[in-house]
């Protein structure tokens, strides 16, 4: 059995559009809306939302086999306004594991709760080389010293509040997407690349007239970056859950940008050996280029479901992403391999 062809142009277009939709954890509804609109094109799917805003797509088929599920997350790293400083600039509280040096000088949108969204940029509070000299380079890149300089005429807390900005307002960092020579560079490929993998797999199967061998649920979660995204949303009759999330690329890792990776263990737990063996056999049957790896500082949506009491066999696959939680990069070879593995899993008993 051959796998359906992947629409490469659609994949890149969908991913770029999704990457450009701001969706920090807690503020991911616009991204979820976008994915829901795309999936609504396929009559095979029954779409619904969880109470906390995740998207569930059910592809029901007539089969005696128990259902399975796959999950990826649309929420990203970001921040909220922690304090409005006396000079009108903003101190931030991070959402997820953003690294301050990776976003220094980056553009942001501040979503004012009582006004329009406002542009700004992230700077160290000793940014001027002509004022602070070497002290600017030596200032720790930490919560205490990073600030947002607003592109608005404000030099006081009162003037900033008059713009409609309040403590708790969402701050989204620019993704800075670029597609070049088979690579996609952007923040937040974790995990929007894998959302694109799921959507592309559904599109390819639906348009080729192929269906999963059993009922499958796709959960696009919206709280993964803070640890509880898929804690709910997976039905209790599901027997296998495949989490689709980035593979770690770096020193000491097996993963690279040109393969899909099966994670054997991360910082929380080993994954399910039986399901891992099944996925390996499927990949080898379909000649899908994959690697296995162990991730030292990592947790997944599937484990959130396990910790919440979910009784499933659990595995984790995903494309290699370089510079995770920084300015990330993936390659179409690894992304295509991931999409193919998803389709192969859904088409094999």
d(C-alpha 75, C-alpha 188), whole Å: 9
Catalytic residue among 36, 38, 224, 225: 224
All residues at 6 or more sequence positions from 272 whose CB lies less than 8 Å from its CB, including other chains: 313, 314, 315
Dihedral sign computed on CA atoms, order 186, 188, 190, 194: negative
Residue 294, CA distances (Å) to 189, 265, 273 in order: 20, 5, 14
Are 169 and 112 a contacting pair, CB within 8 Å? yes
From 134, 121, 124, select the one nearest 100 (Cα to Cα): 124
Are 232 and 307 a contacting pair, CB within 8 Å? no
Could you confirm whether 83 is annotated as catalytic? Answer: no
Are 245 and 316 a contacting pair, CB within 8 Å? yes
Are 179 and 19 a contacting pair, CB within 8 Å? no
Active centre residues (catalytic): 224
């Amino acid at each position: 059995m051959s796998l359906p062809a992947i629409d490469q142009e659609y994949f890149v277009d969908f991913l770029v559009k999704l990457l450009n939709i701001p969706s920090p954890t807690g503020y991911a509804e616009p991204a979820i809306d976008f994915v829901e609109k795309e999936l609504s094109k396929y009559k095979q799917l029954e779409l619904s939302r969880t109470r906390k805003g995740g998207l569930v797509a059910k592809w029901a088929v007539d089969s005696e086999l128990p259902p399975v599920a796959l999950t990826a997350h649309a929420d990203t790293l970001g921040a909220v306004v922690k304090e409005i400083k006396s000079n009108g600039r903003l101190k931030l509280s991070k959402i997820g594991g953003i690294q301050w040096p990776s976003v220094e000088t980056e553009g942001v949108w501040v979503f004012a709760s009582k006004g329009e969204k406002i542009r700004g940029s992230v700077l160290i509070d000793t940014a001027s080389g002509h004022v602070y000299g070497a002290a600017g380079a030596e200032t720790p890149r930490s919560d205490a010293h990073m600030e947002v300089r607003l592109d608005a005429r404000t030099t006081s807390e009162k003037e900033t509040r008059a713009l409609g900005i309040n403590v708790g307002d969402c701050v989204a960092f620019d993704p800075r997407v670029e597609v070049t020579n088979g690579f996609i560079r952007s923040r937040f490929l974790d995990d929007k690349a894998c959302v694109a993998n799921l959507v592309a797999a559904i599109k390819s199967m639906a348009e080729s007239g192929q269906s999963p061998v059993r009922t499958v649920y796709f959960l696009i979660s919206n709280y993964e970056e803070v640890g509880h995204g898929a804690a709910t949303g997976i039905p209790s009759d599901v027997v296998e859950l495949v989490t689709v999330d980035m593979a770690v690329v770096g020193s000491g890792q097996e993963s690279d940008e040109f393969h899909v990776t099966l994670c054997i263990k991360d910082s929380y737990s080993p994954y399910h050996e039986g399901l891992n063996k099944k996925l390996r056999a499927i990949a080898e049957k379909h000649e899908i280029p994959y690697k296995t790896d162990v991730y030292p500082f990592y947790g997944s949506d599937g484990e959130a479901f396990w910790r919440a009491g979910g009784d499933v066999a659990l595995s984790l696959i995903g494309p290699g992403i370089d510079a995770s939680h920084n300015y990330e990069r993936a390659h179409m070879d690894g992304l295509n391999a991931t999409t193919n593995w998803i389709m192969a899993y859904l088409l094999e008993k």
